Amino acid sequence: MSYLRHFFSPKTVAVVGASHDPNKLGTLILRNILESKEYVKAFPINIKGGTILGIKAYTNLREVPEGIDLAIVSVPAKFVGQVVLDAIAKKVKAIIVISAGFKETGKAGAKSEALISKMLKLARAKGIKIYMIGVNCLGVASYESFPLNATFLPALPPDGSVAFISQSGAFGAAVIDALRKNSLFGLKYFVSIGNKTDLSEYELFDYFSLQKNIRIIAGYLESIKNPLKFIKLVEVLVKRKGKHVVLLIPGISNTARKAAASHTGSMASDIEVLRLALQKAGAIIVSNITEMFNTIYILDKYGTVAAGKKRYMVITNAGGPGVITLDLFAKNKLELANLKSSTQIRLKESLPFGANTYGPVDVLGDANTQRYDIALKHVLADSNVDAAVVLLTPQVTTEPEKTAEIILRYINKPKFKPVYPVFIGGKVIEPAYNKYSKQLPMFNKPDELTDTLGILQNVNTDTPYRFNVNSIRFYPTINKAFLNLGKKICKYWQKTKTKRLNVELTEALLRLLHVSLPSSSYIKLQPKKLATLKLGTLKNEILAKIKQAGVQVKYPWVIKLANSDTLHATELKGVIANIKNKIQALDTILKFYNRFKTAETLTIMIQEQVPIDVEVFVGFKNTNGIHTMLIGWGGIYTEILGDINKLVLPATKKEIKEALLKTKVAKILAGARKGTVFDINLLVDNIFKLSALTTILPCYKTIDFNPIIVNKKGSFVVDFKVVGK
């Protein structure tokens, strides 16, 4: 990744499109580059030549007498291809293309962009190491070696320990402008990546991970080029390199959820799956710009100590804000600490009569700095407290600046506990905010703080590596022979060109995984060939097959349509239960036969009927190699009830159980209202075995197990459907 340094620490920069018009983008960029003239030598490029901002301009890149580290391109889209060819000929090391008018404009623009991408790849194949950021971007800003503003924005954001990437130039501009105003945190790097014609978020995140002075890598990403590869990188950044990754990925609320070939396909959008997977890898996923700013703000001030589940104590000088904050705690599932009785006694002895010492600790409306100091001293000394929230409203005796100074003393101690000041008000608290907000994560609205703490408590840094673990190591029942079998099945399946994997083959795989299944048999008919037979002869043929099935499967039966092109047998009235004898079986199969007289083959599954107590749904979805499990209430009401929880694979039995226990069906399984208590662990064991199928069959798109029947004897997979890509 060392080649990326030319974007952030160039010694020579050419600005292609610098103009004699001072208001043109190219000229604005050149003016910004000249701010770093003691570090960088600038070369304006303009087809007319001449002098621009007092510097000789060249008509094209090839004319520049020196080597060029970075070329910034701001010319009409139709000329960009030629500029890239010139850059390749000149062996320019890095290019930033500001110019718009490519794939975002339609097919013609997309074709031009693809051609530029091809040029760069061919050049690299010939040994010319040239890379590009853009097209259609804002540029980059950096403090890597010196202040560099390679954008057309008027000024740099403050320096800091955050690297920020934005796919939207407008969003990036807003971030920089906001930071210039409030300086809540600083950016060491800013990159607008635009259309990602060449370099994407992956290469940039990888580069920033190598920078020791970068603690937080944040990004606004509307798409991700190679999702699984990026997720694996995020996992390494967070869990091995100790970086914080904060991501805003829009689209979950307005993603069109079209009906798919199975229930699973319609219940988890691709954006939702991506966000879940990134969270599992350790990324912090936020929903809007306010959450992003506040999350980075807290992490920048407190680092890792702010992340994870915490027990908070609230200290306040006003009852109303204290009650509101407790409501916000409940909304965000934040835990209010239980103060030790010894702490309560000390607080009672030190605070005036009427002060609440249970929690939240109310230091009363006439509290001065000394009273806040006393409360903080005892609260933070309590081992039941991990962090404190300090509410302050401006009253006659309130001392906002002095109180902020006291808080700062507590968090400057070794092994400090985080303290979050929420100073509510306007003019009275403004001096304290202006003076201390750069050292403390200060807020003036309780909801902004609690929403952010709610996000931070879900940060997943403790779980072991999953996306970088070999599946054979994760699933003890899988070996290389099993994986090879899965590949062969996929090849066979693709040849048959059917949506659904052969039911018999699916069942055979499940039995190899030691999944609990009812006994079964299959009856295969060829309706076209049988059409010439008299009814009596046809019945005898079918009865013979029924008799053979009866040897393997005891009554009562469930008889199902099991053709590979049958996706929803229930909706086709292709599932008939409670078949008690061969006469009922014959009648049912004849009805199926008459409905499918023109079919080449008709596959019918005979299955032992399992007593139903509770029905559970388990589904899997393959989204670009990211596997998601959906779990909840089964049967025909799966989508109607919406009792579904989602988790990303691979998952341990413990994680599967935790996901199951968050559903409503778990309450039934646990014996709600003095009902039967079922063996949840046995069900979880079955689900864990089922999840191995996602590794064995890389060609699947969705897998449905609906229902898994749970009764007093255990849990049984009675219906399964594997749909291909």
pTM for this predicted structure: 0.90
Q: Which residues pair with 387 in a beta bridge?
A: 312
pLDDT at 463 over 80: no
pLDDT for position 253: 47
Spatial separation of the C-alpha atoms in residues 400 and 304, rounded to whole Å:
27
Cβ neighbours around 263 below 10 Å, total = 20
Nearest alpha-carbon partner for 557 in 521, 518, 519, 608: 608
Instruction: Name the residue with tokens 């924005």.
Output: 153
602 and 620 inside one domain:
no
365 and 431 inside one domain:
yes
pLDDT tens-place string over residues 566-577? 655 555 678 999
47 and 127 inside one domain:
yes
Looking at residue 509, which CATH number applies to its domain? 3.30.1490.20
Looking at residue 642, which CATH number applies to its domain? 3.30.470.20
pLDDT at 491 over 70: yes
C-alpha angle 299/300/305, rounded to 5°? Answer: 40
316 and 440 inside one domain:
yes
Write out the DSSP string of 451-484. Answer: HHHHHHTT---SSPP-TTS-HHHH-TT--HHHHH
pLDDT at 45 over 90: yes
Average pLDDT on 521-548 reads 88
pLDDT tens-place string over residues 661-690? 999 999 999 988 778 899 999 999 999 999
pLDDT at 267 over 90: no
Whether residue 270 lies inside any domain: the answer is: no
Average pLDDT on 377-403 reads 96
Whether residue 252 lies inside any domain: the answer is: no
pLDDT tens-place string over residues 169-187? 999 999 999 998 888 999 9
**Among candidate residues 590, 608, 626, the one where a domain is terminated:** 608
CB 12, CB 40: distance < 8 Å:
yes
pLDDT tier, 626 (very low <50, low <70, confident <90, very high otherwise): very high
619 Cβ contact partners less than 8 Å away, ≥ 6 residues apart? 262, 263, 264, 267, 629, 630, 631, 702, 703, 704, 705, 706
pLDDT tens-place string over residues 291-349? 999 999 999 999 999 999 999 999 999 999 999 999 999 999 999 999 999 999 999 99
**Among candidate residues 428, 456, 484, the one where a domain is terminated:** 456
The count of domains in the chain is 4
632 and 658 inside one domain:
yes
- Domain hosting residue 596, numbered range: 474-608
